Homo-oligomer: A and B are copies of this chain.
Amino acid sequence: MSFKPISEIGEFGLIERVSAIAAPSLKNAPGLMEGIGDDCAVYRTGGPALQVATTDLLVEHVHFDLLTTPMHHLGSKSISVNVSDVCAMNAEPRYALVSIAVPRKVPVEMVEELYRGMVHAASRYGLAIAGGDTSSSPSGLTISVTMIGETAEHRLTLRKGAMPGDLVCVTGTLGGSTAGLKVLLRERATMIEQLRNNEPYNKDVMAELQEYTGAIRHHLLPEARLDTIRFFRDNDIVPTSMIDISDGLTSDIGHICRRSGVGALIEEGRIPVLPEARSIAEEFQEDALSWALSGGEDYQLLFTVPKGLYDDIAANRDISIIGRITEPEEGLLLTDIYGMTIDLADSGKGFDHFTP
């Protein structure tokens, strides 16, 4: 028997394998409507609303670096990324369970600040932190949040359901999280360099960060688009499919296409790249569009609606219509601003934790 390191099959490969192993257990739960494979599991409890549940891990040195991440922000983000998954089902969050594994030497005050950030976010989203677990950790902080939400059955929106002709829409702007991360990583390198040379930390560097505040905020303090879910509810809109952009636009529209059995044509010129991300990309001599396409962690909602809803959607200035759903054989295409067509299925697959 030969052994294969996870890095060889990557995160999606691993998820595929463990999902296949877990699949037989799904028949144990007749109330389950959706298992692994969407942003949340969905199940009935006999009440008027469907329940949705999701869970996300945040691991130090993988998802965050304490040198550049204030604990309050980290707490808030750990709640927001889970609320974002609940929103992706067109549901509203209700309860969070929070577990942390934390090194023994970490000051209590840091953990308290982390929880204050969580509670701050919880109150903004109107949810309760209803339980959890604590453990020591031999190395590094790990945060695990589970979020339970609910939605009326007719409002439930899955990744599956997009139809040819539907409009492809995205909330807010993209690329901001990656831009902020780039700035923070550069700042981190400077800090480490100064520490190595025993220089006092130069506060001027911090002051210079102010011009990047917007992008950094997109990275450290993403907001789940619960406002969009409420806009849908108030305007009687039910998207035909939806996902939150955690891996990057390319990867996430890919999930919708695969699960719905359709293709998509995205227009580059319509992708709402954060203007500040463009100027930061220029400074780094990188491409803001590719940050928007495959940087991930923007936590905007990507969804499809029948084209008859064009006016209703266009009325919301915070939603961009970036393309349309096509027949499956047309594949996943991007038309660039010169009219050239690029096959997105060949390009970046979004962020993968296991491939270096």
Contacts and interface: CB of A to CB of B under 8 A. Distances in A.
A184 B135 CA distance: 22
Contacts of A138: 59-62, 139-140
Interface string A1-23: 10111111101011101100110
- Count chain B CB atoms within 10 A of each CB in A118, A127, A132 and give the residue with the most: A132
A214 B238 CA distance: 56
B108 A17 contact: yes
Given A22-B119, A28-B126, A119-B24, A133 B55 contact: yes
A97 B3 contact: no
Given A22-B129, A128-B32, A136 B62 contact: yes
29 contacts: A1-B109, A3-B107, A3-B110, A4-B109, A5-B105, A6-B107, A11-B134, A17-B112, A21-B119, A22-B129, A28-B122, A28-B123, A29-B130, A32-B130, A35-B128, A36-B132, A40-B131, A45-B45, A45-B51, A53-B95, A54-B131, A55-B97, A55-B98, A57-B100, A57-B101, A57-B144, A62-B135, A135-B353, A139-B140
Interface of A: 1, 3-9, 11, 13-15, 17-18, 21-22, 24-29, 31-32, 35-36, 40-41, 43-49, 51, 53-57, 59-63, 94-95, 97-102, 104-112, 115-116, 118-119, 122-123, 126-140, 142, 144, 146, 148, 150, 353-354, 356
